[in-house]
Amino acid sequence: MKKGFIFDLDGVIVDTAKYHYLAWKKLANQLGFEFTEEQNELFKGVSRKRCLEILLEIGKREATQEEFDKWMIDKNVDYLEFIKNMDASEILPDVPKVLAFLKENNIPIALGSASKNAKPILEKVGLLPYFDAIVDGNHVTKAKPDPEVFLLAAKQLDVNADECVVFEDAVAGVQAANAAQMISIGIGDKNVLTEAQFNFNDFTEISTNFIKDLIEK
């Protein structure tokens, strides 16, 4: 049966979390409070809007609608400055190995990310040509754990949802993949991604034989 593979971006293909952190920290500091790397963990896989809501809860700050909108823009302007010089050296280990293996086997590949900056990032690191479909924060109305992003990706690949495999580093992302009836592969701490069907610390632990088995399943 036809298979499709869907990749999350931040934490799976590249580690943009560190740049998101710098941009959110800058905003927090401007608003007069601290924001730690530990708190940044709460932001992984979460939409920009929800991140700002959480940030303001952390800083116990109220915002008018006007301020909220401005801070969303300010954060993104800073984030874009931080990622300006990203290149292929920032691709997480062995991601290209898996993408190339899928391409060699004519398996359709999609991106399923909450980020509205996903496409330019893939372009910067040189991975855009691998992707047959890109579904990101610009295309969905419901955030993970809602399965919308992955269901739309399957549709764009013209593959049944239950024939898709999803790589995710966030709990909400794994839940979204499971809700979409897809095979969920957790990338990161297995004690955190407990709901994933398979767990790996990173792609160096994923063999082409494992991918082949998934394709043939």
Please tell me the total number of residues recorded for the chain in this structure: 217
- Confirm whether residue 116 is marked as ligand binding: yes
Q: Does 48 bind ligand B16 (CB under 6 A)?
A: yes
The two structure tokens encoding residue 26: 């800058």
Number of residues that bind ligand B16 (CB under 6 A): 20
Residue 197 binds: one of ligand B16, Mg ion, none (C-beta under 5 to 8 A by kind): none
Give the contact letters, 89-128, x = binds to ligand B16 (CB under 6 A), - = no: ------------------------xxxxx-----------
Nearer to Mg ion, 11 or 108 (CB): 11
Q: Does 139 bind ligand B16 (CB under 6 A)?
A: no
Q: Which phi and psi (to 5°) does residue 4 adopt?
A: -135, 145
Does 162 qualify as catalytic in the annotation? no
Does 8 qualify as catalytic in the annotation? yes
Nearer to ligand B16, 76 or 181 (CB): 76
Chain residues 8-27 in contact with ligand B16, contact rule CB under 6 A = 8-11, 20
Three-class DSSP category at 112? strand
Question: What are the C-alpha distances in Å from 63 to residues 57, 58, 68, 95?
Answer: 10, 13, 6, 40
Nearer to ligand B16, 179 or 215 (CB): 179
Query: Exposure pattern of 39-58 as b/e (b: 16+ CB <10 Å)?
Result: bbeebbbbbbeebbeebbeb
- Confirm whether residue 70 is marked as ligand binding: no
Q: Which residues bind ligand B16 (CB under 6 A)?
A: 8-11, 20, 43-48, 51, 76, 113-117, 137, 170
